[in-house]
Chains A and B, each alone.
Chain A
Amino acid sequence: MEMMTVEQAIYQALAEEMQRDNRVIAMGEGIATKQLQLVEAFGKERVRNTPLAEAVVAGTAVGAAASGLRPVIDMLFAPFLSYAMDALVNSAGKLRQISGGQFEFPLVTLAMTGSGWCVGGQHNHNLEAAFVHMPGLKVLMPSTPADFKGLLKSAIRDNNPVLLFTDLGLLHSQGEVPRDTDYLVPLAKAAIRRIGTDVTLVSYAKTVAVCELAATQLAEQGIEAEVIDLRCLKPLDETTVLASVRKTGRLVCVHEASGLCGMAAELSALVAEKAFESLRAPVMRVTGADATPPASWMLEQVGVPSVQNIMGAVIDQVAIKTMPAAYRLS
């Protein structure tokens, strides 16, 4: 193990995979300028600076992926993906199925988002759920440096288009990362960060740590919260979430993205459909607002789920001693 930041873990994973497989290439606006160690190790043919033209960068990656290369593209900030939607959604996501399975798209798209840098709504916009809605794509949003390494390596080895969102607030956070060059974290497997019996907190990215803090404080009040870090939003690890809710009977979903049609809504529906009989209280969501993420530090903080918000939701839930009759199965 060695201590490193999320950013270092990302580029270590990329370098290891480029070393392992010469079909892996990296493209992006500035990647060859900023990641000089990659250029030194693999040359400018495999580490490519691109024009500021997201549509053709993504399209080129899609065409290359279908033709034998394994591109990793750095699209910088998540809102810039709007220019790349045709390539990622209509081409990478759909052309495998449209063609009856003739093509594979081993392609990884990196994008940063999230509060903490006060960059405003055209650089910070948590769009992950929008991509979860798109067929053929996989979506990752890890929370620890080790997971960034292990998940990115798995994504590069996967034969499908994967988006990996990096929460800006985590970019420079540190953690222990295995040195193993074959350290892989499987896609579609959530991590249980804290075991508890009274309520399940499900989150991903930066707000996992907020949930863990809330859980610590709840424990002081005698409430034991289980904290699940989804890590991979699509495919969704339904098994881990359902098993936990069946145990605790309560679910609070937490994320920074807007709640409307977001991951929390999906998790709520999942539990309503498959674990309704276990619920001892209505599912609650603690999410960002249906509004443009602001640049003002003060407003940015208001829009992010806090320990206080999460604790409030849990305490409200626990106060419900029995479900209203209408909720009970006959």
Chain B
Amino acid sequence: MHTSQYQMAEPTDKSLQWLEQMQLIRTYELHLAAMQSKGVPGTCTSVGQEACAVGVMAALDKRDRILTNHRSAAHLLARGASPGRLLAEVLGRIDGYCGGFSGSLHISAKELGVILTSTIVGGELSMAPGVALAQKMGQGEAGGIVTVFFGDGAACEGIFHEALNLAVQWQLPLLFVCENNQWQAFVHRLETMPDNAIINWARGHGLMVDTVDGNDVHAVFESATQAVSAIRSDSMPRFLELCTYRQRGHFEPDDQAYVDRQELAHWLERDPIKRLCQRLLQQGMLTQQSLNNMQQAIDEQIQAAQAFADASPWPDAAMLTRHVYA
């Protein structure tokens, strides 16, 4: 994070830092989407879900480990990933977090604690209990917990129920974070499940649950902080459902012809960045000028990231068969 005149109003208040992270995520992902026309490989964005990633990450420590999925850029950036290394990875270049082998879909960054990213919907849920078991058996940093991010789509996989059941039965220090973004690839959630909420399933497995507005970063942070603190103290899993909305298509490029315009408009009104800006402007913690300065600095950061990625070499041909085995 660079410093400038929009430094947080009070040292204890992270709101401005969160806004900056959310703006960085949004700008990065819109940049990726815009790059589609220039031959950049397709990608799954989390535009509209930034408050989920930023609010939960703010509640976690460096010692905690995180599993995520194909819609991972927000989680990685909120955890402090370098936009340049992310873009290099998307472009398949050696300076990417995975040496260019992963591309955009399954980026892990062990140095940031973001591990075992899987693009198989539900894959992250299958592995998370094992990471938490290792943590519980003394393999992680002391006091650390494990957080797994997934969506309502993964909640419709059988592995969701297997993972929840095992986490409760084995008392694993695991935070389940369901970003219910209403869309499961190209199908609306209302078509795939009879209930309106994922937490009812979680509650049925004996989990302690909470649901909050996933487009309100403060609400997400407060709920996540409570859950994280509870897990640290009793090593029992918790479940958060964050109600949010996938503002863009499943996979860029996507014309979203299948999306109900009224529903989209409703959620665009509740955009998490817009709401946070309004709140901070009203509270006098932000001015239009400082907001503009923030955006300008982020734009420059993304341009520098693109230049870094473009300058990064392609992997050597030998990489095709490297790292198959340890």
Residues in A94-110 with C-beta less than 8 Å from chain B: 95-106
CB-based contact A62/B126 at 8 Å: yes
The interface residues of chain B lying within 8 Å CB-to-CB of A296 are: none
CB-based contact A90/B139 at 8 Å: no
Q: With A60-B130, A63-B129, A96-B325 given, name 15 new contacts (CB 8 A).
A: A48-B170, A51-B166, A55-B159, A56-B162, A60-B127, A64-B131, A68-B134, A68-B139, A86-B120, A87-B123, A95-B108, A97-B322, A101-B322, A101-B326, A103-B110
Chain B residues in the interface with A (C-beta under 8 A):
65, 67, 96-102, 106, 108, 110, 115-118, 120, 122-123, 125-135, 137, 139-140, 158-159, 162-163, 165-166, 169-170, 322-326
Report if A100-B123 is in contact (Cβ < 8 Å); known contacts: A56-B166, A63-B134, A68-B139. no
- Is A41 among interface residues, defined by CB-CB distance under 8 A? no
The smallest beta-carbon distance between A22 and chain B, in angstroms, is: 9
A91 partner, pick from B101, B116, B132, B139, beta carbons under 8 A: B116
- Is A160 among interface residues, defined by CB-CB distance under 8 A? yes
- Is A249 among interface residues, defined by CB-CB distance under 8 A? no
Residues in A18-77 with C-beta less than 8 Å from chain B: 23, 25, 45, 48, 50-51, 53, 55-56, 58-69, 71
Report if A64-B133 is in contact (Cβ < 8 Å); known contacts: A56-B126, A59-B163, A91-B116. yes
- Is A159 among interface residues, defined by CB-CB distance under 8 A? yes
The smallest beta-carbon distance between B168 and chain A, in angstroms, is: 11
The smallest beta-carbon distance between B179 and chain A, in angstroms, is: 20
Q: Can you name the residue of chain A whose Cβ is closest to the Cβ of B140? A: A67
Q: Can you name the residue of chain A whose Cβ is closest to the Cβ of B125? A: A59
CB-based contact A67/B126 at 8 Å: no
The smallest beta-carbon distance between B169 and chain A, in angstroms, is: 7
Chain A residues in the interface with B (C-beta under 8 A):
23, 25, 45, 48, 50-51, 53, 55-56, 58-69, 71, 86-87, 90-91, 95-106, 135-136, 138, 159-160
CB-based contact A59/B130 at 8 Å: yes
CB-based contact A60/B166 at 8 Å: yes
The interface residues of chain B lying within 8 Å CB-to-CB of A136 are: 324-325
The interface residues of chain A lying within 8 Å CB-to-CB of B131 are: 63-64, 66-67
The interface residues of chain A lying within 8 Å CB-to-CB of B67 are: 63
Q: Can you name the residue of chain A whose Cβ is closest to the Cβ of B126? A: A59
The interface residues of chain A lying within 8 Å CB-to-CB of B126 are: 55-56, 58-60, 62-63, 86-87, 91
A90 partner, pick from B96, B98, B123, B324, beta carbons under 8 A: B123
The smallest beta-carbon distance between A175 and chain B, in angstroms, is: 30
The smallest beta-carbon distance between B126 and chain A, in angstroms, is: 3
CB-based contact A62/B101 at 8 Å: no
B163 partner, pick from A56, A62, A67, A104, beta carbons under 8 A: A56
CB-based contact B130/A62 at 8 Å: yes
Report if A63-B127 is in contact (Cβ < 8 Å); known contacts: A69-B134, A98-B106. yes
The 6 residue pairs across chains A and B that have the minimum distance between CB atoms: A63-B130, A59-B126, A68-B139, A100-B99, A67-B134, A63-B127
Q: A185–B163 Cα gap in the complex (Å)?
A: 36
The smallest beta-carbon distance between B100 and chain A, in angstroms, is: 8
CB-based contact B123/A69 at 8 Å: no
Report if A100-B97 is in contact (Cβ < 8 Å); known contacts: A67-B140, A95-B118. yes
CB-based contact A63/B102 at 8 Å: no
The smallest beta-carbon distance between B171 and chain A, in angstroms, is: 11
The smallest beta-carbon distance between B63 and chain A, in angstroms, is: 13
Q: A53–B158 Cα gap in the complex (Å)?
A: 10
The interface residues of chain B lying within 8 Å CB-to-CB of A100 are: 96-102, 323
Task: Supply 27 A–B pairs (Cβ within 8 Å), ascending by A.
Answer: A45-B137, A56-B159, A59-B129, A59-B159, A60-B127, A61-B130, A63-B131, A64-B133, A67-B115, A67-B131, A68-B134, A68-B140, A91-B123, A95-B116, A98-B106, A99-B98, A99-B106, A99-B108, A100-B99, A100-B101, A100-B323, A101-B323, A103-B110, A103-B115, A135-B324, A138-B325, A160-B325
Q: A104–B297 Cα gap in the complex (Å)?
A: 39
The interface residues of chain B lying within 8 Å CB-to-CB of A53 are: 162, 165-166
Report if A97-B324 is in contact (Cβ < 8 Å); known contacts: A90-B118, A102-B98. yes
Q: A102–B326 Cα gap in the complex (Å)?
A: 10
Q: A147–B141 Cα gap in the complex (Å)?
A: 38
Q: A97–B158 Cα gap in the complex (Å)?
A: 27
Q: A55–B161 Cα gap in the complex (Å)?
A: 11
CB-based contact A69/B115 at 8 Å: no
Select the residue from B98, B120, B122, B326 with max chain A CB neighbours within 10 A. Answer: B326
Q: A171–B125 Cα gap in the complex (Å)?
A: 34
The interface residues of chain A lying within 8 Å CB-to-CB of B102 are: 98-100
Report if A67-B130 is in contact (Cβ < 8 Å); known contacts: A91-B116, A100-B98, A103-B110. yes
Q: A97–B108 Cα gap in the complex (Å)?
A: 11
The smallest beta-carbon distance between B129 and chain A, in angstroms, is: 5
Q: A27–B122 Cα gap in the complex (Å)?
A: 21
Q: A62–B137 Cα gap in the complex (Å)?
A: 15
The interface residues of chain A lying within 8 Å CB-to-CB of B165 are: 51, 53, 56
Q: A100–B140 Cα gap in the complex (Å)?
A: 22
Report if A69-B139 is in contact (Cβ < 8 Å); known contacts: A59-B127, A60-B133, A96-B326. yes
CB-based contact B108/A160 at 8 Å: no
The interface residues of chain B lying within 8 Å CB-to-CB of A51 are: 162, 165-166, 169
The smallest beta-carbon distance between A328 and chain B, in angstroms, is: 34
Q: A212–B223 Cα gap in the complex (Å)?
A: 67
